[in-house]
Amino acid sequence: MNRLEVRHLSTSFDTEEGRIHSVADVSFAIRAGRTTAIVGESGSGKSVTSLTLMRLLPRDAATRVSGQALFVDRAGETLDLLALPEARMRAIRGNEVAMVFQEPMTSLNPVLRIGEQIAESLRLHKGLTGAAALAQALRMLELVEIPAAAQRLREYPHQLSGGMRQRVMIALAMACNPTLLIADEPTTALDVTIQAQILALMRRLQAETGMSVLFITHNLGVVAHHADDVAVMYAGRIVEAAPVKDLFARPAHPYTQGLLACLPGQQRRRPADGGKRRLHAIRGQVSSPLAPPPGCAFEPRCDRAIAACRDAMPALRGSGAGASARCILVPESA
């Protein structure tokens, strides 16, 4: 069963220079109890996708959103998150669908104690009273393995380390036992040791609760170890989607191949360089969203591009074994 099915999601913004299409015709699904990762370089549209699903973008004429986000709630009812009345969405946001933001210091309220911030969600969504809400907040801090949890409950965000603040964000997101967790680069600002601890914690919580996870990252190593399925985004579009093992074993799109070639250890020794390994780099830069190329968005940087790549945007088509790629050079599976 799919916990969330996103269909043809598009998000654009009016600016003084023109309209920017940050997300264009994005479709993917997250199965119940599984982890789907969205990976891509900065500016590819990953975070805008998550904020669109959570309905946290500015509600004004400059922001335009289209498509569907079909979510199956605890009762088994299918809801379109993008079409729900705001009151109904508030009841779901933080309750059935929760989000761990990229930078906890800008997401946590600096003038409220940690316990109060977690308790607020429990009072709103679970109807707990003050003392009961604080007691459950303490249990959540203990669940995410924060040392001296009772003391941290009374402290402010600035009194905690970066790793502790991220654990607080996870505790806040998990407080109401969501069925879908959106994690937007939750380990980007942490050192590698704390990263490993946070990722192991999220994996353990997922195994215990059976929640689905949408994991947004640019770290392919994290994707390899923690995702079941992966969608690769480039310039606002998904260019390849596949089960994670298949994508790493047989990447189809030239952009995915380039990303994997950039990983340390993937370089071959070159006799011309005295046998030294050189890191691979994808040439060029992402095209401006105000002036995208007429055809494939990756064509200006692709070493395999042909004239037909400039004619029209390729469709995302099946390439075999549940995988798909947006490239005319990839043969379509039967």
Which residues form the domain of 130?
Answer: 2-234
Distance CA 121, CA 185 (A): 22
Which residues lie across from 59 on neighbouring strands?
A: none
Q: Indicate if 29 and 110 belong to the same structural domain.
A: yes
Q: Indicate if 18 and 136 belong to the same structural domain.
A: yes
Per residue of the chain (334 residues), give pLDDT as tens: 899 999 999 999 998 888 999 999 999 999 999 999 999 988 899 999 999 999 999 888 789 999 999 999 999 999 999 999 999 999 999 999 999 988 777 889 999 999 999 999 999 999 998 899 999 999 999 988 899 999 999 999 999 988 899 889 999 999 999 999 999 988 776 778 888 888 888 899 899 999 999 999 988 888 998 999 999 999 999 999 999 999 999 999 999 999 998 887 665 555 555 556 677 788 888 888 888 888 999 999 998 999 999 999 999 888 777 899 999 988 876 4
Distance CA 27, CA 6 (A): 5
Q: Indicate if 316 and 186 belong to the same structural domain.
A: no
Q: Indicate if 229 and 303 belong to the same structural domain.
A: no
Cβ atoms of residues 199 and 222 within 8 Å:
yes
Q: Indicate if 283 and 163 belong to the same structural domain.
A: no
Q: Indicate if 162 and 223 belong to the same structural domain.
A: yes
Cβ atoms of residues 176 and 95 within 8 Å:
yes
Distance CA 143, CA 131 (A): 18
Q: Is residue 239 part of a domain?
A: no
Per residue, what are the HEC states of 186-199?
CCCCCCHHHHHHHH
Cβ atoms of residues 35 and 247 within 8 Å:
no
The model's pTM is: 0.90
| Cβ-count burial 281-316 (b if 16+ within 10 Å, e if not) | ebeeebeebeebbebbbbbbbbeebeeebeeebbeb
Which residue bears the tokens 């395999």?
Answer: 304
Distance CA 169, CA 189 (A): 14
Q: Indicate if 211 and 264 belong to the same structural domain.
A: no
Q: Indicate if 170 and 256 belong to the same structural domain.
A: no
CA-wise closest residue to 23 among 7, 40, 9: 9
Q: Indicate if 53 and 131 belong to the same structural domain.
A: yes
Total domains present in the chain: 2
